[in-house]
Structure 1
Amino acid sequence: MDRISELPDFIAHHILSFLNSPTELVRMSVLSKTWLHLTASFPVLYFSDDDFTSRDTFFKYVDYATTRFYLQNVTLYRLKLVATLEEHAELDIVNRCLELVLNNGLYELVIDISITNSSSNYRLPNTLLSVSVLESLTIRGCELPSSLMLDAVKFKSLIELKLESVSIDDEAIKHLTTSCPRLEEFHIVSCDGFKNVCVYGLRNLQVVWIDYDTVVERIDIDAPNLLFLFITDIYGIGAPQMNLASCKKLVVVPYFGLPSPNSNGFTNFSSSLPIIESFFLDTKSKFDSLRLSSAPSLISFGYPLVMYYQWPLLRLSTHLNVCMQCYLDGDINTLWFYMLRLFLYQKNGFEVLNLYIQATYRQKFIDLEKLKTVTLPPYELEHVELQLDTHKELLDYVAFLEAVLWCCRPRSLILRSTSPLSDFKELSDLVKITYEKLLKQEDQGHTSIQIVKPSSSLLMSLSGEGRAMSFIKEEVVQEEAG
């Protein structure tokens, strides 16, 4: 018995939503008459000319599918249209199909259309502005409707708005966003025509993502529930002036690019972010010095941060103290550790230091003995985490660990691995060396500290990806004689 065919239509449609192309949908339709009916009534349309070998077949399919839904008077859940137009007849088909779909209404629209041999981009129909049930809108490489600044925009249900490679000016940004009272997420990526991003009066707005490759002078956001602000200065043009005073819940700001080209560096930039808790910085150049001021709520600072997937590490941290994360994506040597040592002895307030070993060891730590001539004791820290690159030689890890412990004296240390540790001997050596180095550090300090060494059963469980081993220093309670 075909149990799937007995499912309610809305559940079967949800299953079909995981298909990636019209070809897969056609394959499903031939399974049975039931599945033929389900695919015909499936309210999600995904059109991409890359999925077709014949342009004529592609545009005929687009015309047929959208006309069928229009005649059935069905409101589409999602329409994604990706195409390159080469002939006027293709433009006519796209215009007609969009009008049909928009007149019936839809909830999600992704439109990505380019025109070959033309100096202008495809212009979206004015009908788009009247789709009041639309919840998600993504526009790539298209011109906005010509009546945007003339007619009322009825995006009363829009939650997500993403503009990419779209020409839009300051007033259009302001007008468009204020016409979306329920907006929660706003992206403006590689767009041109604007110098200021002003977003006002959006109480539901939580995420703003701004990627710019032209001069942006000012970012002014009035959104009391904004949580995340992502800024990417693609060509290192410089950080804009910012007014985020009303964003009382803004806690995470990753910035990719360069600081403002003035003598104050990031001072002006950070002073506009007094309430953030986490600030991630990735720049295209190295700094001799970096100054952050007027950020009393800051509990985590990451520099440099080059991978988007690393942001969640902050939220997943088991240590809630103030912390700093260092992502070592380039050459690292003894000079880097010397600078880290100097930084730690500034009044920075960091108690947790997360270090991720993702560096290129082109220069060995041959000058470590010279560093040991520095008379300052290691900086006291509550916790240190080291991310292991298991492709490195054991001697490299030993040198790195010695350099870390020259800089700081942690009460606890965690070793994490980016890949499975299948070599039991290698893993045992790592644990033994780490244990001995930490114990030696405490012996040098003349303190009675016991370090909890992972058991052999724990070692066996650490061969899986992403596992960690912990070393915790515990004071040994001395029994009184008597």
Structure 2
Amino acid sequence: MNPDCEETVSGQLNTMDRFSDLPDFIVHHIISFLDTREAYRTCILSERWAHISATNPILEFHYYVPKFPRRCWPSEEVSSRLLGYLDSRMQRYAKDSLRVRTLRLIFPDSNEVFSCELSCKVDEWIQIAVRNQVARLDLHGPLNYQLPDILLSAKSLRQLNCSQVKIPYYNGAINLASLQTLELICVDVEERMLNHIISSCLLLKCLSVYYCSGFKTLVIPCCSQVKELTLSNTLPKDGTIVLETSSLACFKFSDSTSDRWPVMSKPGLLRNLRTLDLFSSGITDEDLGKLLPQSASLETLHLVNCRRLTMIRISSVQLKEIYLDECDGLVHVTIDAPSLTKFKYKGDFDRHCIITISSQASCVLSVHTTPYCLDTLGFFKLKQLMTGLRSCNALKISLPDNYYESGRDDIKFVEEELGDVNLGPPRDIRELKLSLHDQNLSRSSMSAFLNGLFWTCRPDIISFQFFLHEPDLMIQLFMSELEDMANCWEHPLKRIKFPDANCSNTLESKKVDLQLRLHW
């Protein structure tokens, strides 16, 4: 029996609405998981729910939905009513001193509907939110909207996300005593102001700056407690980032235009850094060689489009994950990481880059390359890469679309081309994961592909994933060639998986038949 139902003397059930007996702050927490429209609809449930909806501490206003074109934006009349509704809500919160936990205001990028009167209204709403102890403010403002000075005295504010606005210089004291997260996107902020905010917010833990302007030098002072720092395409070519704090645990830097490495830090200050994610066309071997020894606690290293890197040596006891993505200039990579569990390489897996890995942990290797790179030499390099690993848990091979190399999609593997070179028997691994993206391999390519893989490794499980228009045809071809290759290499496969394929009955029966022949 439902615990909220009691049986009367006459045998009828008397239902009790225990949910409505909950205090307001608990119900507010429950409806905080709904969006504004769904939360507002709850007002039709009862008079109390109407009160709950009207006092919801989470306020959101979206002038338009970004994914829709301009013709779908609200008309001027509808916009006026929406703004009037929001203003009446904010005035009630001001009158009754209701808590505003979250205020989210999203306006279009264009100034067509943004007047001086509306600017004053937004200032007023922010002032009400600050006085009513706002904890989070998300503001996607119209172009050239300037944040009011009162926002800089929001003692209760814990998270501030701003985009498409201006932050003018403020000469007074900044009292953001509770601010822990600051995100700026396409914000015009003066250098003195930005550094003043960072140095004044002693509890700031997460700082993200994307595509901002107005400053040349960014300083993270020694008094700062910032643990996560993300900077993306936000500096001029002669800009500088000065790291004076030792609290950084995660540093993500992206700059695809500069030809120099702009980050400066004193020795020993990056000793607590655990994640380093670089998308930099300016960093050199010398820059990385100075940066890595300072990061004794580094566990994750991502290098993306670092085209000036040529010969790098990575030696770390703590390092667990390395990702090399489209670093086209690399010639030689030496990795000595006893704790390495993940290594991912994306790019041309050809003769121009020699990679040597030494790890004592069970490692997962991922190679994302074009088919024409998987020739005899490519498989040789793949097997050579695995020789430095004490244990390989899984090998992932992903072949993306190679439309830009028309006519070069054939995979070739001829073991006789290796001559007297001997790297030992195929490496035992738990699982081999294969992915094909938007391309169909010929029968000869599929045969060479599997032949090279079985020469490289002996998996217990093969997982085959397709991102193709006609996956059934590739499954048939794969199953046929797999049967021949497995029997040829006397390979005792245990299982094969097609996680995303809808196999037809014919394929299912062929799969069962193949299982019987290979004694899975």
TM-score between both structures, scaled by the size of structure 1: 0.74
**Structure 1 residue 42 corresponds to structure 2 residue 64:** no
User: C-alpha deviations, 1:193-242, integer Å up to 9, x for none?
Assistant: 33333213467533211111533644343554533222222446554334
Q: 1:126 aligns with which of 149, 165, 169?
A: 149
Q: Which SS does the other structure have where 1:232 is aligned?
A: strand
Give the direction of change, closer, same or farther, for the CA distance of 1:266–1:56 in structure 2 (3 Å limit). same
**Corresponding residue for residue 118 of structure 1:** none
Q: Which moved more, 1:287-296 or 1:428-437?
A: 428-437
Give the direction of change, closer, same or farther, for the CA distance of 1:465–1:288 in structure 2 (3 Å limit). same
**Corresponding residue for residue 64 of structure 1:** 88
User: Counterparts in 2 of 1:337-352, with a 5 A limit?
Assistant: 338=377, 341-342=380-381, 345=384, 349-350=388-389, 352=392
Q: Is the 8 A contact 1:303 1:326 kept in 2?
A: no
- Cα offset for 1:440? 5.9
**Corresponding residue for residue 197 of structure 1:** 218
Give the direction of change, closer, same or farther, for the CA distance of 1:82–1:200 in structure 2 (3 Å limit). same
Q: 1:388 aligns with which of 425, 428, 435?
A: 435
Distance 1:305 1:109 in 2: 38
**Structure 1 residue 453 corresponds to structure 2 residue 494:** yes
Distance 2:237 2:54 in 1: 48
**Structure 1 residue 415 corresponds to structure 2 residue 429:** no
Give the direction of change, closer, same or farther, for the CA distance of 1:224–1:335 in structure 2 (3 Å limit). same
Distance 2:34 2:272 in 1: 38
Q: Is the 8 A contact 1:229 1:250 kept in 2?
A: yes
Aligned residues: 431
**Structure 1 residue 83 corresponds to structure 2 residue 111:** no
- Cα offset for 1:256? 2.2
**Corresponding residue for residue 35 of structure 2:** 20
User: C-alpha deviations, 1:162-211, integer Å up to 9, x for none?
Assistant: 11112235543433222222222111111123333321346753321111
Give the direction of change, closer, same or farther, for the CA distance of 1:57–1:397 in structure 2 (3 Å limit). farther
Q: Is the 8 A contact 1:205 1:226 kept in 2?
A: yes
Aligned amino acid, residue 54 of structure 2:
A
Bigger Rg over Cα: 2
Q: Is the 8 A contact 2:371 2:399 kept in 1?
A: no
Distance 2:261 2:62 in 1: 37
Aligned amino acid, residue 251 of structure 2:
L
Q: Is the 8 A contact 1:173 1:199 kept in 2?
A: no
Q: Which SS does the other structure have where 1:106 is aligned?
A: coil
**Structure 1 residue 8 corresponds to structure 2 residue 56:** no
Q: Is the 8 A contact 2:461 2:493 kept in 1?
A: no
**Corresponding residue for residue 480 of structure 1:** none
Distance 1:144 1:367 in 2: 59
User: C-alpha deviations, 1:50-86, integer Å up to 9, x for none?
Assistant: 1644221122122111111111112211001112452
Aligned amino acid, residue 100 of structure 1:
I
- Cα offset for 1:99? 1.5
Q: Which SS does the other structure have where 2:60 is aligned?
A: strand
Q: Which SS does the other structure have where 1:333 is aligned?
A: helix
User: C-alpha deviations, 1:124-168, integer Å up to 9, x for none?
Assistant: 111111111111111112222531xx2222222111111111223
Q: 1:31 aligns with which of 7, 22, 45?
A: 45
Aligned amino acid, residue 30 of structure 2:
I
Q: Which moved more, 1:365-374 or 1:127-136?
A: 365-374
User: Counterparts in 2 of 1:393-408, with a 5 A limit?
Assistant: 393=440, 395=443, 397-406=446-455, 408=456
Aligned amino acid, residue 360 of structure 1:
D
Q: Which sections of structure 1, spanning at least 5 residues, go unmatched? A: 116-120, 307-312, 444-449, 467-482
Q: Is the 8 A contact 1:302 1:327 kept in 2?
A: no
- Cα offset for 1:24? 3.4
Aligned amino acid, residue 386 of structure 1:
K
Q: 1:157 aligns with which of 149, 167, 178?
A: 178
Q: Which sections of structure 2, spanning at least 5 residues, go unmatched? A: 1-14, 66-73, 328-340, 344-358, 502-520
Q: Which SS does the other structure have where 1:389 is aligned?
A: strand
**Corresponding residue for residue 396 of structure 2:** 355
Aligned amino acid, residue 196 of structure 1:
T
Q: Which SS does the other structure have where 2:433 is aligned?
A: strand
**Corresponding residue for residue 368 of structure 1:** 413
Q: Which SS does the other structure have where 1:46 is aligned?
A: strand
Distance 1:288 1:279 in 2: 14
User: Counterparts in 2 of 1:103-252, with a 5 A limit?
Assistant: 103-115=131-143, 121-147=144-170, 150-201=171-222, 204-213=225-234, 214-215=236-237, 217-235=239-257, 237-243=259-265, 245-252=268-275
- Cα offset for 1:381? 5.7
- Cα offset for 1:348? 9.9
Q: 1:277 aligns with which of 299, 312, 322?
A: 299
Give the direction of change, closer, same or farther, for the CA distance of 1:36–1:412 in structure 2 (3 Å limit). same
User: Counterparts in 2 of 1:432-471, with a 5 A limit?
Assistant: 437=485, 451=492, 453-454=494-495, 462=497, 464=499
Q: Which SS does the other structure have where 1:321 is aligned?
A: strand
Aligned amino acid, residue 60 of structure 1:
G
**Corresponding residue for residue 321 of structure 1:** 361
Distance 1:432 1:250 in 2: 50
Q: Which SS does the other structure have where 1:291 is aligned?
A: strand
Distance 2:240 2:149 in 1: 30
* Overall identity of the aligned pairs, in %: 18
Q: Which SS does the other structure have where 2:231 is aligned?
A: strand
Q: Which SS does the other structure have where 2:401 is aligned?
A: coil
TM-score between both structures, scaled by the size of structure 2: 0.69
Give the direction of change, closer, same or farther, for the CA distance of 1:263–1:43 in structure 2 (3 Å limit). closer
Give the direction of change, closer, same or farther, for the CA distance of 1:239–1:288 in structure 2 (3 Å limit). closer
Give the direction of change, closer, same or farther, for the CA distance of 1:191–1:356 in structure 2 (3 Å limit). farther
Q: Which SS does the other structure have where 2:45 is aligned?
A: coil
CA RMSD, Structure 1 to Structure 2 (Å): 4.2
Q: Which moved more, 1:429-438 or 1:394-403?
A: 429-438
Distance 1:47 1:38 in 2: 18
Aligned amino acid, residue 94 of structure 2:
Y
Q: Which SS does the other structure have where 2:151 is aligned?
A: helix
Q: Which SS does the other structure have where 2:107 is aligned?
A: strand
Aligned amino acid, residue 185 of structure 1:
C
- Cα offset for 1:427? 7.0
Distance 1:218 1:387 in 2: 43
